[in-house]
Amino acid sequence: MHSFLLLVLWAALGLTSSNIHQHHIETLMDNALVLRVPDSVGSMVEVPLTCGAAYQPHEVFWKKNGEELTPAVQGNHITVLVKEMKAGNYSCHLTSTGEYLNHTLILVQLDPDNRTVILEEKSPQEGHIHCSALNYNGSFHCNWKKTQQRSHATVLLIKASRYQEEISCVLDADGSGVLCQDVECPYKEEKHPIHLTIYMISHFRLEAYTKSFYLREIVRPEKLPNLHITSGQVFRWDYPDTWEKPQTYFGLHFQVKVLQSGQSCNSDNFILNNLTEETVFDVNIKSKKYVFCVRAQDKHARGPWSHWSQCM
Ligand SMILES: *[C@@H]1O[C@H](CO)[C@@H](O)[C@H](O)[C@H]1NC(C)=O
Ligand SMILES: *[C@@H]1O[C@H](CO)[C@@H](O)[C@H](O)[C@H]1NC(C)=O
Ligand SMILES: *[C@@H]1O[C@H](CO)[C@@H](O)[C@H](O)[C@H]1NC(C)=O
Ligand SMILES: *[C@@H]1O[C@H](CO)[C@@H](O)[C@H](O)[C@H]1NC(C)=O
Ligand SMILES: *[C@@H]1O[C@H](CO)[C@@H](O)[C@H](O)[C@H]1NC(C)=O
């Protein structure tokens, strides 16, 4: 039934398909083409492939995903028909069994690319990619999570830039995050956001995930170190080692919470809840059994809060 439908569609499209769809073919990078199709069902695109001018004198043979095509396809310039998501990696060889010469990876991307299946959405506000930085030195890390059904998907390409300046990024060993370094004078006032695009492939389906942000929106101080009681009920802590210096310029402020023992720092059921700019706090209450929690935020940029540090 399905193949019959396809045949009918093919017949209906037959006369017009040959050139009409070619403007949906884009070069993503060396050796990789992207077909932008409105729907995965019923799409058919003819794609011209070239082995390369250097191999012009040879009678080259083509393979798809390492397998010979049947019937055999020969010639430096060929055209392949890509139906739906059945794209692939086309390689040309000197003889039908012989030496590899060149290849073109053909990928299919939905247009618009808003029906994504490869990455999980973290939240409607955050989207699919979470980015964070420990300070303003230009290093930032982003991560994502593949859906269970697409755990085999891989990252094809990463692009990051800020106002036409490229930012270099290195993929994490496990393929689920990226560490980037913006070298363009990171401490000056940010006028332009950072744009990040992660190109993911699952079989030969391509999805592009994008995120735009200012560093000041993602800088989250590290968990406060060295939280301890000095005398009586006076608590002290330090600025994180990774935070910017001098502290007089890159100031943090701190949220202090005191809760009944057993409560979590996130609980609204607190005994005391204060904001301070000091790294010391005197808990002036009678009870001796409580949880003391403290976390930090950039007091000017008011970006994300650090994780809580706590002391029983
Ligand atoms: C190999 O194929 C790519 C297209 O995928 C083409 O741009 C490139 O020029 C070819 N290489 C050579 C050596 O001809
Ligand atoms: C495509 O095939 C070429 C040649 O066999 C190989 O080097 C390349 O890694 C393949 N690319 C992908 C994404 O499978
Ligand atoms: C994708 O975008 C198109 C056009 O903007 C829209 O009609 C469609 O509802 C969107 N689909 C989803 C799943 O968001
Ligand atoms: C930026 O700060 C982080 C956290 O302290 C550090 O790991 C990284 O190496 C720093 N990068 C540069 C370029 O100084
Ligand atoms: C904590 O906040 C309360 C209410 O805003 C205020 O009355 C109290 O003085 C503050 N305590 C300290 C130690 O800052």
Q: Which CATH superfamily is domain 2-110 in?
A: Immunoglobulins (2.60.40.10)
The reported pTM is 0.85
Give the pocket of ligand 1 (CB within 6 Å): 31, 52-54, 102, 104
Which residue's CA is the closest to the ligand 2 atom numbered 1?
89
DSSP symbols for 5-45: HHHHHHHHHTTTHHHHGGGGEEEEETTEEEEEES-SSS-EE
Tokens matching residue 106: 């053909």
40 CA → ligand 3 middle, Å: 14
Q: Ligand 3 pocket check: which of 39, 111, 114, 128 to mutate, most ligand atoms within 8 Å of Cβ?
A: 114
58 CA → ligand 1 middle, Å: 15
Q: Where are the domains of the chain?
A: 2-110, 130-217, 228-311
Which residue's CA is the closest to the ligand 3 atom numbered 3?
112
Residue pointed to by tokens 């991560």:
143
pLDDT one digit per residue (tens) for the chain, 312 residues: 344 434 333 444 443 444 445 558 999 999 999 999 988 788 889 999 999 988 888 889 999 999 988 788 888 999 999 988 899 999 999 987 789 999 999 999 999 998 999 999 999 999 999 999 999 999 999 999 999 999 999 999 999 999 989 999 999 999 999 999 998 766 778 899 999 999 999 999 999 999 999 999 999 999 999 999 988 899 999 999 999 999 888 999 999 999 998 899 999 999 999 999 999 999 988 888 899 999 999 999 999 999 999 987
236 CA → ligand 4 middle, Å: 26
Which residue's CA is the closest to the ligand 4 atom numbered 5?
242
Q: Which CATH superfamily is domain 130-217 in?
A: Immunoglobulins (2.60.40.10)
Give the pocket of ligand 4 (CB within 6 Å): 134-135, 137, 139, 181, 242
R_g (Cα) of the chain, nearest Å: 28
111 CA → ligand 3 middle, Å: 9
* Residue 103 CB–ligand 2 contact under 6 Å: yes
Assign domain 228-311 one CATH number from 3.40.1190.20, 2.30.110.10, 2.60.40.10, 3.40.190.150.
2.60.40.10
Q: Given CA atoms 301, 305, 306, 310 in this order, what sign does their dihedral have?
A: positive
